Structure 1
Amino acid sequence: TTGLVTLAFNLRHDPDYWYLDDVLVYAGVVQMLSNTGFETSNLSPWIRTTPNGACGGAPAAVCNFGYHSGNYSACDGSNGCADRLSQQF
């Protein structure tokens, strides 16, 4: 198909953290996402938003713990509402 697709994760864990790493989406043999393991040590091109308003706790960021492979993961300690991490491809 044509057009952009958005993959989004809504993350909320009162009062602890979610960890996200090694996010893969393939079209045949082509990897569609960038920075799938957060190894650039920043979220880009992932976009963090708060679809339900401001949240307490720690917003989504890149952490050097909680990873599946490599040295980094996305971590989120949002409380009271969900943070959203998304990427268009």
Structure 2
Amino acid sequence: MSFSFEINPRFLIDISHQPQENIESINDYQQEELLSLEQACQPLENLLVAPPCPPQSVSNGTLLYLMNPISSIYPNYTCYAYTWTATALSATLSFFFRHDPGGWMIDDVSVYYGTTQKIINGGFEAGSLTGWNYSGHCGNNVGQAYSGSSYAKSGSWYYYDPCSGYSGSNNSGDTISQTFSTIAGGTYTISFWLTNYYCCNQTEIANITLI
């Protein structure tokens, strides 16, 4: 029995010269000016939404608790911002208010994951509490969306909560909240603007939580 075969000419090419033909060396990179860290990160700016004020790092629980403040900058608002790392697949941002006899005003609520806004109707520009869950009980008045560009932080609408307590009751107050999906381990930026109308009388409580 005999065998015969042909050698493919491709296998006879001297491949030792191919790298010299196909790969060119990188020259003159030493002469390129080095970029600052700020310049190098410039393309990443569009991946994040900067908070309206410097944020503080927080974990689950109370973001802000105010009780019987002694002063107010009304009609100006105070900005609050936080960075928070999710630990589950959802979270609930809640605003509890009680005010005897004035009211709390809040506007421009946002929660960003990168450039994705997680809050619905955070500026209350729908003219209602669309997207928000309302709960609680008040002796007089309840929180709701109000119009008036001179009172809003931006736009024409804001949330005004004049919920007052029942006589002799310490459990009065109402809450608006939103639950949104999260990615465990992801970093989120929370911010809102708050002011106190007719400050510094009797019982005034603002309790903002993220759980």
Determine if the TM-score, normalized by the shorter chain, exceeds 0.5: yes
Q: Which is richer in helix?
A: 2
Instruction: Determine helix, strand or coil for the equivalent of 2:162.
Output: strand
- The equivalent of 1:43 in structure 2 is 129
- The partner residue of 1:9 within 79, 95, 108 is 95
User: Does residue 58 in structure 1 map to residue 141 in structure 2?
Assistant: yes
User: Does residue 74 in structure 1 map to residue 169 in structure 2?
Assistant: no
Instruction: For structure 1, list consecutive stretches of 5 or more residues without a partner in the other structure.
Output: none
> How many pairs are equivalent?
86
- The equivalent of 1:25 in structure 2 is 111
1:2-60 CA-to-partner distances (Å, cap 9, x unmatched) read: 5221100001111101111100111112111010100000101111101xxx3112111
- Whole-angstrom CA distance in 1 between matches of 2:146 and 2:159: 6
- The alignment yields a C-alpha RMSD, in angstroms, of 1.2
- The partner residue of 1:83 within 174, 182, 189 is 174
Shift of 1:79: 0.6
- Whole-angstrom CA distance in 2 between matches of 1:69 and 1:30: 20
Percent identical among aligned pairs is 36
Give the structure, 1 or 2, with the largest relative contact order (CA under 8 Å, sep 6 or more): 1
- Whole-angstrom CA distance in 2 between matches of 1:59 and 1:25: 25
Q: TM-score with structure 1 length normalisation?
A: 0.88
